[in-house]
Amino acid sequence: MATRFALIIEPTASDDTRSDFTSTLTQVDASAPALSVGELSTQRGDGIFESIGVVDAHPQEVTAHLERFVRSAEICDLPVPNVEQWRQAIAAAAALCGPGEWVIKTILSRGVEHGPTPTAWVTAADAPDFARPRREGVAVVTLDRGFSLDTPARAPWLLLGAKTLSYAVNMASLREAHKRGADDAVFVSSDGFVLEAPTASVILRFGDVFVTPEPTGGILHGTTQLSAFAWLEEQGYRTEYRDVRVDELGAADAAWLVSSVRLAAPITRIDETSAPVDHELTDALNAYLLSPRD
């Protein structure tokens, strides 16, 4: 996934009410050096990000992504982003995207050690081709995330629930899943509850009820999961947020991993057990997720 475009942002205060932030956005050569060697995003993963799906130059679910971006900044004690400035930066990047599927990333880091301001930028790149997992599904393994469901409330300094740049554990879990012959992983808590995938939310179907784990246990509240639930409710289904025990994974009538760029990938196997797949509903859901959404 080669980065095509990059914009460096000069962050402004969250209460800056100007209508045009164009002067704070600078397009740079995406293949050229742009960050200091002292940048804390690369040295420590000290920053936050969002990945926004783009379909035919239309950025999807921008408001939900920016709301989560702000929450992540607050959790990490970073300056609160000016939402309108970032919205305009996303629009500028989307205007540079061509037809088809792309991904825009918004990134805010603490900058350099003792530096005067944070570092901020937006990138745009071609999205990977996820046609196969959307159509054929993914096999997953369950992996212990290493904390209990109540850990985030007891230890907020762990930054659980923030979308940080520190993704080493997420990537290590995907490598472990591949070693075990699976495509992806589902994190579970040490006390036996389903959490999320390394880069996706989990949705389970029990009859006409669709369930996702309560986003209070160190779980990112997925923007695509929110869109999926809104669509399912429009189709007459009931949706629920609740704690989900691990043994419920195998008891579900169908299950999906959903995320902003891959969209909805049906789960075909959980550990060593095959899982039922609802291809018709998956196709309809992905058709909706590929439609323009703000």
d(CA 35, CA 25): 15
Amino acid at 39: E
Phi, psi of 37 (to 5 degrees): -65, -15
Cβ count near 66 (within 10 Å): 20
The CATH number fitting domain 131-289, selected from 2.40.37.10, 3.30.70.2740, 3.20.10.10, 3.40.1190.20: 3.20.10.10
- pLDDT tens-digit map of 56-87: 999 999 999 999 999 999 999 999 999 999 99
pTM: 0.95
**Between residues 153 and 239, the one the model is more confident about:** 239
CATH topology of domain 3-126: D-amino Acid Aminotransferase; Chain A, domain 1 (3.30.470)
Confidence of residue 115 (pLDDT cuts 50, 70, 90): confident
First to last CA, the chain: 24
CB half-sphere exposure, 160, CA atoms < 13 A: 21
- For Cα atoms 1, 118, 57, give the angle at the middle one, nearest 5 degrees: 35
What share of the chain has pLDDT > 70, as a percent?
99
For residue 286, pLDDT over 80 is answered with: yes
Output the pLDDT for position 114.
80
Sequence-separated (6 or more) residues with CB below 8 Å from residue 95: 57
- For the chain, give every domain's residue range: 3-126, 131-289
Task: Give the long-range contacts of residues 279-285, CB within 8 A, separation 24 or more.
Answer: 281/254, 282/134, 282/137, 282/256, 285/228, 285/231, 285/232, 285/256
